[in-house]
Structure 1
């Protein structure tokens, strides 16, 4: 109850602080550059200056937070990546040389590559198929709600749910894991699914696909509804069947949206951390870059240099895709 009360107090205080900031800064600006009661030239000059400053007053909190929580950490991470374990002595590119020669880092790169191949493709594909099918049935909105629900669950919460699906008990004992319960009911031996090398990566990927399919479905459903009815009607008149309409008429018209969804999920996959940490903690050859960075940065005494170097690699992988995604989204907005 105390935590709930503190949360409510914090939210109320935050809203009041924001209102006080915007009201106070605008009041001060109007006092410094008054436009009322002034002559025509002075009033016009002050109004022009205040109008130029006012947007920055609204942007300042966001810019300040971005500087503290994004720009500064990036600069600090790059700086630390060229220093030793304690982040004090300059070691040049030694941390990057270590990464190239480290087997666990190479395993993490390989696993991240697998995630990149599978998760965006499956989540986008399932989201597209579900979006197309649910628009054709009367209970489509109910189905969309159920499929979108995993988006409301944190990655750790989703991992806990899927732990019960993959749970393993020794052969001959009652299986509480859904998958092993099905396997044993069919007469096969139960398996410790998350410990099977290579395949365990796909079992972890299933969690993120389950979560992100709802996101892809919502965005692609909106795009499909934006397709002009005349185009589809013309295709029907020309004798096109359902598959031809879907793959040759609909998909080409929403290809830009598909690309945005794909790249958005790709960025998320490059930063995947919570699922691996909660399910395997990188054991049994499931290590990924973000979890490896966490291990080096905060565990075993911490190695700020190596942890920061891995963080820089993740950033370099994410930034080009993010820039392309933003530009593509901007082009889509201009098109509409």
Structure 2
């Protein structure tokens, strides 16, 4: 443990020193390439202008290089690979996409993704908004917010392991250690293998992501609610509006832009959901989603890089319009300020 900490600190120190050395040397080299000589005002002005043009690229250059290597290149390579066979050597055109449209498991994963999209963003945004409003009205609201936000600090795999104990099932006659089955049994019901129940098991998996992401929605929406002018609320109260009317007709319309951003951000996350399904069911019992199907075709059964790449492209195409809309909306809001 100590060795790992020392190693991590050493890497950080080396990284910081390397960054300092890069910027110092690159600026020194820039000054040498475009020198400013006394006596020649025009040449000096030209050199300073060129330095001003080049210097920003010295700062963003490393980031752009990393972006190209780890984002742009993989996207292009995946798109090209989706038109090749399982080994990535023989061109097969759109055969992989035709296979996807006719594959039962792919259609099941599309259905499950749509189901996740219909439930999770709406539930997270709704619960986050309700909790944000309620916690602003109680003296221990900050403590409540901390408790709601706490699951955000847990990884998806860690959260799934926790919820496995919630849904745990033991054979009839044995003591049920799963919280849900213990409650059902205590109320006189019959314990169930919850994550294996057809159709409904998807909702039990969604509950995990809702539990994690509600805290995110609450924090963002709580900040937006604090930005609503007090005069607006006071005027509504004077006019005789009740709490319900103030919430729906005063608060929600004024933070609608923030609600949309939270909704779309969680939507993008849902389209890429993978860890929870893999940990809880491994895609069994009709719970598979697109990311898990891509993983299965790439790393299991010998691997099929063509079909897995085609699924990856489909996921990217589904995410891209939402990301573009989100970025444009953010840019409009920034421009409005």
Task: Report the Cα offset of residue 37 of structure 1.
Answer: 4.5
Shift of 1:106: 0.1
* Native 8 Å contact 2:87 2:305 kept in 1: yes
Distance 2:168 2:149 in 1: 25
| Aligned-partner Cα distance in 1 for 2:19–2:154 | 29
Cα displacement (A) at 1:40: 2.4
Q: Verify: 1:269 aligned to 2:270, yes or no.
A: yes
Residue 36 of structure 1 and its aligned partner are, at CA, apart by 6.8
Matches within 5 A, 1:114-193: 114-193=115-194
Alpha-carbon distance change, 31 to 182 in structure 1, aligned in 2, over 3 angstroms: same
SS of the equivalent of 2:4 reads helix
| Map of 1:39 onto structure 2 | 40
Give the stretch that moved more between structures: 283-292 or 37-46. 37-46
* 1:1-336 correspondence runs (5 A): 1=1, 2-35=3-36, 37=38, 39-336=40-337
Contact 2:128 2:221 in 1 (8 A): yes
Cα deviation 1:255-290 (Å, max 9, x = unaligned)? 011001000000000000011111111001000000
> Aligned equivalents of 1:273 and 1:162: distance in 2?
16
Aligned-partner Cα distance in 2 for 1:237–1:209: 37
Q: Structure 1 residues 144-153 or 28-37, which shifts more?
A: 28-37
Deviation at 1:229, TM superposition (A): 1.3
Deviations 1:165-194 (A, max 9, x none): 111111211121111111111121211111
The alignment's C-alpha RMSD in Å is 1.3
Shift of 1:217: 0.6
What is the TM-score when the length of structure 2 is the normalising length? 0.97
Gaps of 5+ in 1: none
- 8 Å contact from structure 2 (residues 36, 44) kept in 1: yes
Gaps of 5+ in 2: none
Q: Offset of 1:38 from its aligned partner?
A: 6.0
CA displacement at 1:326 relative to structure 2: 0.6
Deviation at 1:15, TM superposition (A): 2.1
**Per-residue CA distance 1:23-74 (angstroms, 9 max, x = gap):** 2212221222234756322222111111111111111121111111111111
Cα deviations by residue, 1:183-241 (Å, 9 ceiling, x for unpaired): 11112121111111111100000011111111111111111111111111111111111
Of 201-210 and 39-48, more deviation after overlay is shown by 39-48
> What CA distance in whole angstroms lies between the structure 1 residues aligned with 2:146 and 2:257?
25
For residue 5 of structure 1, give the secondary structure of its aligned residue in structure 2.
helix
In the alignment, is the contact (CA less than 8 A) between 2:37 and 2:43 conserved in 1?
A: no
Measured in 2, the distance between the counterparts of 1:36 and 1:249 equals: 64
Give 1:6 shift: 2.5
Q: Which moved more, 1:287-296 or 1:4-13?
A: 4-13
Change (3 A) 1:229 1:80: same
Taking the aligned partners of 1:8 and 1:38, their CA distance within structure 2 comes to 49
Q: Choose 314-323 or 37-46, whichever is displaced more.
A: 37-46
